[in-house]
Chains A and B, each alone.
Chain A
Amino acid sequence: MSFNKFMLFFIELIVIIIGIFTIFKIVKDLEVAIGLFSLSFGVLAIIWTFMAVNSLSKGSSLRTYAISFLFCLIAILLFSIWNLFIKLFQWEKSLVYPSYFFITISYIIFVFTAYKMHKLGKEFGFEAQALGIKKILRKKKKP
């Protein structure tokens, strides 16, 4: 690792530590602080996935998978935000139900994304051909 890369990593680490420290210092409630802390990771994950979707070729299998994954992240983030609001504003009864909706939707999209992943594995896997090549090479090696 070069000196510049190390310094960059060091600065990033300090910024993250300061961020975490600030959250826990300002927010006295541990549950809310942890909620905000996890939300920041969720937002970062969405930003990175969004950037990936933008740079992948239109219509490609990988982009379709990235889009599905993006929806999963959004649904999970909505669930976390709603849960945070429940805690912050002391919501009760009917206002709690949307959180169940968000988590159910998240799992449904996760299943869809996992299926996409399964299809991607099938489409881009070359095990059968590799086995064929292995057999041919082994045959040729034999005297």
Chain B
Amino acid sequence: MLLIALLLLVPTKADQPQPAPAKSLDKSIYLTKIKPLLAVRCLACHGALEQKGGLRVDTVKHMLTGGDSGPGLVPGNPKESPVLQRSAGHGAKRRMPPKEEGEEVGQEDLVRIEQWIAGGAAAPENETEDPDPRNHWSFRKPKRPQPSSVSNNPIDPWITKQWQDQNLKARPQADKRTLLRRVYLDLIGLPPTPEQIDRFLADSSTNAYAAEVDRLLKSPQHAERWARHFMDIWRYSDWWGLGAEVRNSQKNIWHWRDWIIESIDKNLPYDEMVRQMLAADEIYPTDSSKLRATGYLARQYFLFNRTSWMDETVEHTAKAFLGLTANCAKCHDHKYDPFLADDYYRFRAIFEPYQVRFDAPQNSIDPLQGFPRAYDCNLDKSTHKHIRGDEARPDTRRKLEPAAPTFLDFAPLAVQEIKLPPQAHAPEIQPWILEQYLKEAAKALAAAEGKVKDAASAVSLAEKVPPAVESKPGKILYSDTFDTLNPQAWTITGPGIWQSSQGTVSQTANLNSRTALQFKNEFPTDFEVNLRFRITGGEPWRSVGVSFDASPGNENNVYLSANATEPKLQIAYERNSTYTYPEAGKQGRAVPLNTPFDLTIRVQGKSVEALLDGKPSASFNLPDRSKGALLLTAFTATCAFENFEVRELPTSYRSPLSSKVLSLSQAKAQLAWAQAEYKTRQAEPEVLRARFTARTNQVAGPEAQATASALAAAKLQSQLAVFKAQTALALAQMELAMQGPAKEAAVHAAQKNLNEAEKAAKAPGDKFTPLTASAKSPESNIESSESKTKSYPTTSTGRRAALARWITHPDNPLTARVIVNHIWNRHFGQPLVPTLFDFGRKGSPPTHPELLDTLAVELMEKGYSLRHLHKLIVTSNAYMLDSSTAQPAEYKKDPENKALWRFPSHRIEAQVVRDSLLHLAGTLDLSRGGPPIPVADANNHRRSLYFFHSHNEHNQFLEQFDDAGVLECYRRERSIVPQQALALTHAALSLDASTAIAQKLSKPNLTDAQFVTEAHLVLLGRPPDAEEINLCAQTLNQLMREDKNATSTRARSLLVLALLNHHDFLTRR
């Protein structure tokens, strides 16, 4: 009977599993199968979080009560039970869960629910409803719990309590060597040196360990080591993009990295770090040292899509500082936490106005030499919810104001607009900017002065040169009037139809390539050629001229081109079969067909001068000369040659390009130009001062002063413009003197500009140009020019400062817990809350809730001092335990060591592997800070955190050991893969290190056994046992036998190499 009903209700395929026998239809089915299914498929909308249609299904009682449309469940009557019917897709409305919200309930489960309802919907009597999500443990403020036992360290009672509760016997304390290596690797990322080990072993005072810890916490290496941890959490990345285009993060972002290091170094309180990163521009608007912290925001930059940029900012700010998966609420209300989709966009609104800019650093007037920083740029930009997270569908009816997530109501987001000091929104009014400009101007003035001196001595030199001897034409070496094509002088190369008649030699074939007459006679390196010819036709280039130094793939070429669109005289050259047509060697001009031209070419060294009909028309310095043939060429042209001469250069000929000795008029023109430039440079400082003063008064001064100084600056600026125009004219005139008539047009244009500048100077007005001290990063790849040049707002919205205050508010239940968990994770290698970025209801609960809260409160009470927290943790008894797994009873009870009955040994991070190798080898370069090391510089010996590290570029060795991902890295991977063995055995890094380490360990007269012992102590932090000494000694012998040339030094360095691959070397025990 029951089966028949089932078949009617639920269409069953033949191959579906058969329903379970009726006897199992009890409440255990509900608890084991049905309740978990409802939890996954239904509770997001029908549970404690939300009750759509008034219905919640987290208990049978609630289902019986039902919602707006009646009971959800009728025991014994599956047909009348909407919980089943809606899941099966029956009824008029859409099936549950709706398609886009979740997967449909499978056939097997439907059958099971049906059987359960038909059997009376049995449920446990005291079934408790899901608690109110707002009461979730992490959403309530931590309070310091009182332990039942007393201890020096507030950590240990909570650890001990779990051992007792679970009847676990903890490991004993680790030996001194192991502990020392553990804490060194932990706090500074480097193993102790033999001297440091000896010092610690020799110190038997009770304070010895604490003293080591203090020393380490204050060492600069500690700041670098822990900076890398924070760089992981905060997604540090150097810029990446396509070619030179920045698309993600920003150039010079390393200033933020240096800020992180320095902050740790001076134990800047964590809450202050958070405030500076999120809002230093609002809280400390003129403190450039702190402004570097907003690199956190600059790193989020994404050129192409503002929504992606905002999404990442929201997601990772929520995850990193609050342990909230806000990102789940982008498209719909959060399925687990009371985080509404509206909350998501309110959170986004906090960041909506910000953009990135660069301010000039103190030693430069180039802003791009500075660091990227955040500032509020678009104060009025509104934020709208994207329907279903689709940015193409903003809900423009409603504007969402910045606010904290509504369920965290310990304090509102107190947004107060901030009036920025003038130097923050107008960095160009800072006095040092003017100084820097003046310094640059002084340099330019000194250079101009030098130029004047040089130009003056060139004039006196020119004056001393005896008046040029009347230049006489050079001796004729060959002359051809082309009455015939003289076979002694010419060879035809290439195709073409060459004929002579009436004193011309013509090429009459229409070719799409080149043809030429090759000159067979000898001629000197410096020479003059005169060619009289006409271009008669062809298509399209119609180029005719002279080639010299010609050999396959190389030649120099001077030709006239009668091309229809671009007729010209051109000096060109071919090197390695590639032609270059320099603009400097070109004269655009009319080249009519069938008109005779006299082309004269003078070649002196590398300089080539071309004269057309006796007029200097183009000149160019070739990159080089080599020997080759001389040819008369026609390229896609027909032509007629009428006369040809090869001569020596005219007597006293000097190329117009030779600058060594100028003619008097040239030298004078040069001097005039240098003087004009000098005059300009002399005037510049006063103008800079006036522009600076005017801008300062405009931004910060009384109005009267502002007007007066603006007028003064405008006047001086317009005068300077006249000087500049005069300089430009003098330059053009000099070029005319040097290069000839080709420059006439330029002189003309310069004169015109000067006239205009003079005219403008008569009515200078009050417009002036402020000095430049800042550059804005493009807001997107399609930014308008208006947006590019708009000035910085004089106020900031204060939204980020409010967020920073809210996150670091003493009543914020999450902030301290989240950072404590991160720090704990990095000391112990395992966190207290396994889901480091999710403290919400989907996250895992803490393994030691009281401990987490104790440390959170402790951190806040001690002014967020991270150093205090570090010390507390590393001096706890729990931290000092042995890490051995060799305790079968405990291992069986708690294999994952959740109760911390032993120290959780774990693989060291990529940076620690590399830095340790270099450190033990004595070759680690400890210089600090500054621009990143290029990835190509793999042999650099600085600490690993300084390598350039982006999505596209990273150090290859570090990559093998799970280097931080730049997109997110709340927890490092600790894989053990074969590539690591190859890198450690084959990289120059480890092979060089093993040689150096072996050398350092080798004291005179050390036996193999002693060497093995030393190596174990230094590399693995423990002595070898007899078997290990034996294994190593055998290998040393074999290594010596294998290679007749092997020395014991080589064998020992290979032994070190093996130990560098040892599990204990790569493990923090």
State yes or no: do A and B come from one complex.
no
Residue positions of B touching A, CB distance < 8 A: none
Residue positions of A touching B, CB distance < 8 A: none
